[in-house]
């Protein structure tokens, strides 16, 4: 409602308009006037009054018709109308109310009754405006809530998809790398490509005869201990886990994202794993199990990328470098970490080694020079 409230007085008699205006202006109302029915409709549509005082007998259009048109207008439908007339016949009163009038006053108008009726109608108008404003706010809030729900549903779907993707990627990538790929939404790094990598193979010596003679539950228990001891080290050095295969696993560095000193990371990880598994080996021996640890590390170019099918993808590396690391691991004696000549050249200042000689490796035409990592420089054996 306007402040102050706007009241339209429609009467073709200037004296009547002046009297009504005088009484109402004294109470601070903003007064609009119209001299006939057509003008009353025009002023009402342009000014949107809060109340209309409407004479019945006017030229062009009588008050009853004006009232009907006001009530038929959606923008003015709830504006209160007080019909003021000299007619006192009950039929006229009924006609005015049926036309949509909200109150009825007869001439001459009693000033006190006039003000009382006006205040009463304006209170109703104020309540109606409040209800409409609240309804509009509720409608807006409902629309916002619906939009928030749609947005929330979409975000939940996207989050679930991200978690599913993250879960799949974490099977072979370190958590840091997996989260980078998921957050960026760019999995092009997983498509087939060529890159130089450092590959590490690790496994347990003597596992095959142990598995053939031990109970299955005991075999699984040993594997759980071995994997638990080594898994967090793979992630700590940000290696990419290509696969677990029973008692062994393959990890490579410098892919899917390049990293600094991949050979150094690989050797440091292998040494850390050897130290941790050595403690396990002592515990296993006390339980009667003769197991040891060996590893092989090689560096070279490979073809890398996502392999598999929808719903079951892995990330793999294919090339001579993976075969070389695997063969070095197969040849390693207990506690040995055999590295290729190329790896040794990259980490020479980091490690103390002993030559392992030129090793005849299955699948390689010539013997391959190799070195056993004794310790990292600055550490005690």
Say yes or no: 245 and 328 in one domain: yes
Are 187 and 173 in contact by the 8 Å Cβ rule? The answer is: no
**Which of 94, 120, 135 is the last residue before a domain boundary?**
135
Residues 70 and 218 grouped into a single domain: no
Residue range 331-352, pLDDT digits in tens: 999 999 999 999 999 999 999 9
Residues 225 and 361 in one domain: yes
Strands (E), 206-271: 240-245, 248-253
Same structural domain, 126 and 200: no
pLDDT in tens, 266-295: 999 999 999 999 999 999 999 999 999 999
Percent of the chain with pLDDT over 90: 55
CATH code, domain carrying 22: 3.40.50.2300
Q: Note whether residue 179 is domain-resident.
A: no
Indicate whether 129 and 237 sit together in one domain. Answer: no
Domain that holds residue 58: 6-135
CB of 58 within 8 A of CB of 41?
Answer: no
Domain count of the fold of the chain: 2
Q: What is the reported pLDDT for 203?
A: 93
Q: Which of 100, 135, 170 is the last residue of a domain?
A: 135
Do 131 and 195 fall into the same domain? no
Structure confidence at residue 283 (pLDDT): 93
Band (192; pLDDT cuts 50, 70, 90): confident
CB atoms within 10 A of CB 280: 19
Q: Which of 239-253, 294-308, 328-342 has the lowest mean pLDDT?
A: 239-253
User: Residue 317's closest CA among 177, 106, 172?
Assistant: 172
Q: Are residues 116 and 215 in the same domain?
A: no
pLDDT at residue 60, as a whole number = 80
Co-location of 119 and 202 in the same domain: no
Mean per-residue pLDDT of the chain = 87
- Cross-strand bridge partners of residue 252: 199, 240
**348: part of which helix (H) or strand (E)?**
none
Q: Is residue 197 part of a domain?
A: yes
Cβ distance 198 to 262 under 8 Å?
Answer: yes
The stretch 186-197 carries a mean pLDDT of: 80
In a domain, 230, yes or no: yes
55: CB partners within 8 A, 6+ apart: 10, 11, 12, 13, 16, 63, 84, 85
- Whether 173 is covered by a domain: the verdict is no
The length of the chain is 381
CATH of the domain at 312: 3.30.70.1230
Instruction: Tell whether 211 and 340 lie within a shared domain.
Output: yes
Q: Residue 361: its pLDDT value, please? A: 95
Is 178 contained in some domain? Answer: no
Q: Please indicate, yes or no, whether residues 214 and 340 belong to a single structural domain of this protein.
A: yes
Alpha-carbon distances of 219 from 210, 258, 276, rounded to whole Å: 8, 37, 19
Residue tagged 């940000």 (tokens): 238
Residue 85 has a pLDDT of 82
pLDDT band at 65 (very low <50, low <70, confident <90, very high): very high
Instruction: Note whether 126 and 247 are same-domain residues.
Output: no
- Tell me the mean pLDDT in the region 145-163: 77
Mean pLDDT of 248-262: 89
5 backbone dihedrals φ, ψ, rounded to 5°: -60, 140
Give domain status of residue 158, yes or no.
no
Residue 157 domain-assigned?
A: no
- Are residues 200 and 113 located together in one domain of the fold? no
In a domain, 78, yes or no: yes
């Amino acid at each position: 409602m306007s402040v102050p409230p706007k009241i339209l007085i429609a009467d073709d008699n200037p004296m009547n308009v002046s009297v009504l205006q005088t009484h109402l202006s004294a109470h601070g109302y903003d007064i609009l006037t119209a001299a006939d029915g057509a003008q009353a409709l025009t002023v009402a549509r342009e000014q949107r009054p809060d109340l209309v005082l409407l004479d019945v007998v006017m030229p062009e259009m009588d008050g009853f018709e004006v009232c009907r048109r006001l009530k038929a207008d959606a923008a003015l439908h709830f504006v209160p109308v007080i019909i003021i007339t000299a007619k006192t016949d009950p039929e006229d009163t009924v006609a005015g109310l049926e036309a949509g009038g909200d109150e009825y006053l007869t001439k001459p108008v009693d000033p006190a009754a006039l003000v009382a009726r006006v205040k009463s109608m304006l209170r109703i108008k104020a309540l109606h405006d409040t209800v409409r404003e609240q309804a509009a706010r509720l409608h807006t809030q409902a629309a916002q809530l619906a939009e928030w729900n749609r947005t929330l549903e979409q975000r939940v779907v996207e989050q679930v998809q991200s978690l599913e993707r993250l879960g799949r990627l974490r099977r072979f990538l370190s958590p840091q790398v997996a989260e980078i790929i998921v957050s960026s939404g760019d999995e092009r790094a997983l498509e087939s490509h060529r890159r130089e990598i450092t590959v590490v193979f690790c496994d347990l010596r003597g596992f095959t005869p142990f598995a053939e003679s031990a109970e299955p539950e005991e075999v699984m228990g040993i594997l759980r201990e071995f994997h638990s001891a080594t898994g967090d080290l793979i992630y700590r050095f940000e290696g990419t886990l290509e696969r677990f295969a029973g008692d062994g696993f393959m990890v490579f560095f410098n892919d899917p994202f390049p990293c600094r000193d991949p050979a150094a990371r690989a050797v440091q990880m292998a040494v850390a794993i050897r130290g941790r598994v050595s403690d396990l080996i002592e515990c296993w021996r006390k339980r009667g199990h003769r197991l040891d640890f060996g590893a092989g590390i090689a560096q070279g170019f490979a073809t890398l990328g996502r392999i598999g099918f929808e719903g079951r993808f892995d990330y793999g590396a294919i090339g001579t470098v993976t075969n070389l690391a695997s063969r070095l691991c197969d040849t390693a004696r207990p506690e040995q970490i055999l590295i290729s000549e190329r790896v040794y050249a990259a980490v020479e200042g980091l490690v103390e080694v002993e030559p392992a000689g030129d090793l005849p490796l299955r699948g390689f035409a010539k013997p391959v020079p190799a070195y056993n990592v004794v310790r990292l420089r600055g550490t005690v054996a």
